[in-house]
Amino acid sequence: MPNKILNCAVIGLGIGEEHARALLTHSSVKLSAVCDLDQKKIVDFLKKYELNFVLSKSFSEILLDDDIHLVSIASFDNDHFDQVMDSLRHGKHVFVEKPLCQTKDQLKEIYSLWKNSHLGLSSNLLLRKAPLYVWLENLINAGELGAIYAIDMDYLYGRIHKITEGWRSTVDHYSVMAGGGIHLVDLMMRFMNQKPSRVQSCGNNIVTQGTAFRYHDFQAATFHFEDEVMGRITANFGCMHRHQHVIRMFGTKATFIYDDMGARMHWNRNEDSHAELITLPPKPADKGSLLLAFVGDILEGDYEKNAKAEFDLMCAVMASDQAIAHHHCPIDITYLT
């Protein structure tokens, strides 16, 4: 929609406040409405940003407002499926916090509705916009690391109270891989520029035994690619560690490492060599940067590339959950696109 103003609404004002704040900075966007179950959050938000022109509306009112073109969904995971489906049915472009949905059947329904909709669909996988990983992806694509033969990543959640006491302890189908490890699965697929073909997984809930949390708090998945590259990813929600992710990329010309000691690149095997320190930020400047990129795609009429990546990612993540029931044996990953 060139030369037009994109009218947007934000659903949920927890992390959704970051969505709304980002939308307010875009010259071709009008934040038209916000929605939250907690009316006080809405009042406080509108007052904080002095938004006399933004309306408080119910989700149903937002759906029925033909002047709203895009909805940004930042509700609880178990609400995503219904809200995404309803938004697409009402002709809205959709940006949604991860995960897109919770089950493979839900994913198939969203895909079936989206593929003929001519609407944009994207999810908030923030690490895509981190300067460190944009730089690393470009370096990989330029062949500077040589052939990548192994990827090793850990998502250290470090916020155990959020799964033992918060809404995550009550919802059905909660997955630590879909709830956190997905960021690293996404990076792995972007770095490799291909889809894994098989996955094997295992998990446990030793840390959260005796709490309200009902699912694995630790999950390890090994993804297999057609060229024999392997990617090992863990989602470790019960760890005694601050919130952190760890990445090790092994190429035939270089090894990249990021952990709590920072980012560095090893260019040789010499015993007396020192790694090159990389000082680029491992996270984007704000949590709305990916939403602004999505808005740019919508304004340019580019509706498909984001959605196809989201469906591929969810298929890989959901297969890693499914593989746990297969006694640690690899299973094939079936894609929708």
Q: Give the count of beta carbons closer than 10 Å to the beta carbon of residue 161.
A: 10
Q: Distance of alpha carbon 300 from its chain centroid, rounded?
A: 23
Residue 181's alpha-carbon distances to 150, 156, 188, 237, 337, in angstroms, are 17, 9, 11, 9, 22
Instruction: Report the pLDDT value the prediction gives residue 3, as an integer from 0 to 100.
Output: 52
Q: What is the mean pLDDT of residues 47-61?
A: 91
Alpha carbons within 13 angstroms on the beta-carbon side of residue 229 total: 24
State pLDDT tens for residues 153-174: 999 999 999 999 989 999 999 9
The position carrying tokens 């939308």 is 23
Q: Distance of alpha carbon 169 from its chain centroid, rounded?
A: 20
**pLDDT band per the 50, 70, 90 thresholds, residue 140:** very high
Strands 55-56 and 29-35: parallel
Q: How far apart are CA 289 and CA 294, in angstroms?
A: 9
| Lookup: tokens for 84 | 């995404």
Instruction: Report the pLDDT value the prediction gives residue 304, as an integer from 0 to 100.
Output: 84
6-125 topology per CATH: Rossmann fold (3.40.50)
Q: What is the mean pLDDT of residues 13-17?
A: 94
CATH of domain 127-286+316-332: 3.30.360.10
Percent of the chain with pLDDT over 70: 99
Per-residue buried b or exposed e for 119-152, using 16+ beta carbons within 10 Å of the residue's own CB: bbbbbbbbbbbbebbeebeebbeeeebeebeebb
- Listed in sequence order, the DSSP H helices in 150-231 are 161-164, 176, 182-192
Q: pLDDT at residue 1 above 70?
A: no
State pLDDT tens for residues 182-205: 999 999 999 999 999 999 999 999
- Which of 43-47, 53-57, 292-296 comes out lowest in average pLDDT? 53-57
Q: pTM of this prediction?
A: 0.95
Whether a cis peptide bond, with omega within 30° of 0, leads into 281 is no
Same fold, 6-125 and 127-286+316-332: no
Q: pLDDT at residue 2 above 80?
A: no
Q: What are the boundaries of each domain within the chain? A: 6-125, 127-286+316-332
Per-residue buried b or exposed e for 295-308, using 16+ beta carbons within 10 Å of the residue's own CB: bebbbeeebeebbb
Which residues contact residue 224 at a Cβ distance below 8 angstroms, ignoring those fewer than 6 apart?
A: 196, 197, 198, 199, 200, 230, 330
